Structures are given as structure tokens and as C-alpha cells.
Amino acid sequence: MKMRTLGLSDLRVSLVGLGCNNFGRLDIEASRKVVDRALDLGITLLDTADVYGDRGGSEAQLGEILGSRRKQIVLATKFGMLMDDEGTKKGASRRYIMEAVEASLRRLKTDWIDLYQLHQPDPETPLEETLGALNDLVQAGKVRHTGCSNLSAAQVAQAAEISRRNQWPAFVSSQDEYSLLVRGIEGELIPELERQHMGLLPYFPLASGLLTGKYKRSERAPAGTRMATIKRLADRYMTDENWTMVDKLAAFCAARGHSMLELAFSWLASRPCLSSIIAGATRPEQVEQNVHAVNWKLSSEELAEVDAITGNV
């Protein structure tokens, strides 16, 4: 497994990480098999969130599964999304962060979190308040490093300036949707991440499965798959424009003896400031496929051809 440094931190993370958003919906033994195979294959970054698994289920399963292996991994989680029906447990205020981190530590059965990430912007809380609270958690040893997710380039720049001004630890990473079919962060966010020397952690690297090759334009989505069961995902990704790109990318891969999965992962691995690709799995075999998919060394000519296919230069 190839390893990379996460931004300016001292965290070394595997090029392919394990997204744990399926845990809590899977039974614990199924989750255990996925984690065991991931660790066997050299994956060191496990990424979850307090909200995953029906509010706490993913963290709770990881706490049960990891045991003594906790020290072998970089454990990342997130806070900020709604955690109750009343609408009080959410956001990025100092009060809520202090409550949320303790709850995550209990569920994860750990004394520290390696990477604690703001899951989404909180328009009701000044960013300085959020960063001040996170600084206190770092100083207390409960959090090693902090990161963000789904922030704009302007918000990332603002956070970096606030941290510099107050001499607080800055965000070391940003987790955002990024794939061959969703490249919007290239315009402003990725250049800002490069300016701040932050690591990029892309999620949905397979565009919710459209880049796996298992869906066909002229066929109904296989029963039980995401596209078959979640209409909003099908409506979002299964557009004529995306199908045209997928068909061309499939032909590109076939001509070179590679799979769409290999292209999706290896292309991401070539991107600026990429630290680790967050890839979910529900079965050990999927973990194996993800790990092996990142070894295609794309030439500059091939990268240019992919850009032409996906409409980006």
C-alpha cells in the first residue's frame, strides 16, 4: 500500500482509505469483515462521522471492532450534522463541539481522535468560535489534527487566516466530493488547498457507483444497488451528459486493458494535493478491488485524453 502525508500534519495515510458510512447499517460482523480485510491490505485511514449509521452506529461499531488495533490506524471522524430529532444537536458552536467530541470518543472507545473534521459549514456560528474550540481540543490531547469538509474556497482561506492570526493549529485536510464526473472543486477549492498545503480527501470517488461499470445506459439498475433504491442519486448521476462520458471512458479503458474502477481511482491518485481516496465498502472483496485499482500509471497523454472526454482541460 502506498502511503502519503496528510497535508502539513505528521499523519501518514494509505493512498486508499476506508469510508465507514455503511457501518451501522451493516450488521457488526459484516462490518468487522470489511475492517479486517482493510487492515490486512495495509489501509491505515478509517473515516467515519458521528451521523453515519443512523446517528452513531458507525462509530459504535468501529469502537467494538478495532480493540487493540486502534493504535495502528489513523482514525478520522466528523461533527456538525444533525444528531437528534429536536434540532439541537448540530452545528459548530463551542458548546456543541465539546458535547459532540465526548460522544464520539465514547462510541469509538478511544482517548483521542487523529483527525476531527467539521462536516459542513455552520452559518450560525462564527468560524473563529469553531476554530478556537478545536484548538482547545488539540491542546487537551483529545484531537491530534483537524480538518474540514464541504467548505468553499473562501471559507478555507478564512479559516487558515484565523488560525494564523491566533497561532492555532490549522486545518490539515479537506474532504469533498470529487470524481471523473464531478470536478467542480478544481476551479477554486483545489488551488486554495494547494496554497494552504492541505491534503485532499475525495469522497464519492465512483460517483455513487456510476464509474464501476456495473450500470448500463440501456438497462434498469440492478436490484438492491444504490441507483435502484435511491431515486435522488439516480436523478443526479444518471444524466445524458454523464452517460455519454461514461461510454467514452469505458472505451478508453477497454482499449488499454484496464477497468473503469482502475481509471477512477488511478486518475484521482494523480490529482494535486490528493492524500487518500475515501472509498466505502460493504464486502471484503470490494476493499480488495479498491486497493488494487490505484496502480495504473496514467501518462500525460492519457490524462489529457481523459480531460477531453470529461470536458475539462
The catalytic residues are 52
Contact of 303 with 310, CB cutoff 8 Å: no
Q: Which residue from 162, 151, 14, 8 is spatially nearest to 76, judged by alpha carbons? A: 14
Contact of 155 with 131, CB cutoff 8 Å: no
The H-or-E segment that residue 195 falls in is: helix 189-195
- 260-269 vs 240-254: helix axis angle to the nearest 10? 90
Query: How far apart (Å, rounded) are the C-alpha atoms in residues 101 and 116?
Result: 9
Enter the C-alpha cell of residue 127: 468560524
What is each CA distance from 276 to 11, 37, 172, 202, in whole angstroms? Answer: 11, 18, 13, 7
Q: Which residue from 127, 175, 180, 145 is spatially nearest to 8, judged by alpha carbons? A: 145
Q: Which amino acid is at 241?
A: E
Which stretches does DSSP call E strand in 97-237? 113-118, 143-149, 173-177, 199-203
**3-state SS assignment for residue 19:** strand
